[in-house]
Structure 1
Amino acid sequence: MVIIDLMAETMGVAMGFLAFLVIGGLTGVFALVFYPGKRQSKPRAKKFLMAVLVGSVAALASSYTGQSTGLFQSGQMLEWLSAIVAACLAGYLYAVLSRNAP
C-alpha cells in the first residue's frame, strides 16, 4: 500500500508539473501572438520558446508561492486560476518588452 500511495503522490506532482507547463506555455504564446500593436515581422521560434518558458515559469512560481504561503492546496481551483493569471501577466510583459526590443 505504501508503494501505491507513493506512486499516486509522484504521479500527481508530475501531472501538475506537466499541466502548468502546458498552461503557462499556451498563455505565454497567446499573449505574444495576440498582443495588439504594430509588429515588425513575424515572431521567430526563439520568441515563441521564450514565451513558453516565461509563461511556464510564472505558472509554476505562482503555484509554489501560493502553496507555501498557505493560500491554497495543490489541485484547488484557486491554484489553477492563479497559475493562469500569472502566466498571462508574464506573457503580456514579455510581449510588451519584446516588441520594443530590436
Structure 2
Amino acid sequence: MISKVGGPSGRTDEETAVFSWTMKGMGRQIVNYQLRTDHGDWPGFGLEAEYVWATYSRGPHSFEVRAQDSKGAYSHTLIWKFTYDVKFPEVVTSAGQRRLKHEK
C-alpha cells in the first residue's frame, strides 16, 4: 500500500512544497513511481519517494503519485490538495493600528 508521509494540505503560504510517500506490501517489486501536478500527464519519476514542487502559482493545486510494479499494475493513487496564497506581513503603525503590508 502506498501512504503519505508528508506534504501540504489546506491553505499554505510556502513557496515550495515537499511531498513524500512510502510503499509497503504491494507484493511485487516497484519499478517506478508516476506523479502528476494539477491533473496533467503521468510522467515516470523513478524510485525516489520525495518530490519538491517549487513552480506553482497562487490558487488551488493538486499533486498525485502512484506506484507501478514489475508487471505494469498500478497502486491506488495518493492525492494531496492545497491552496497557495501569499501571506502578507503585518505592520503596526505609529498610531498602534495593525494592518497587512499590502493595505494602504
TM-score range, shorter chain: under 0.3
Instruction: With a CA cutoff of 8 Å and minimum separation of 6, indicate the structure with the bigger relative contact order.
Output: 1
Q: TM-score if structure 2 supplies the norm length?
A: 0.25
Greater strand share, structure number? 2
Q: TM-score if structure 1 supplies the norm length?
A: 0.25
Q: State which structure, 1 or 2, has the greater radius of gyration over its C-alpha atoms.
A: 2
Greater helix share, structure number? 1
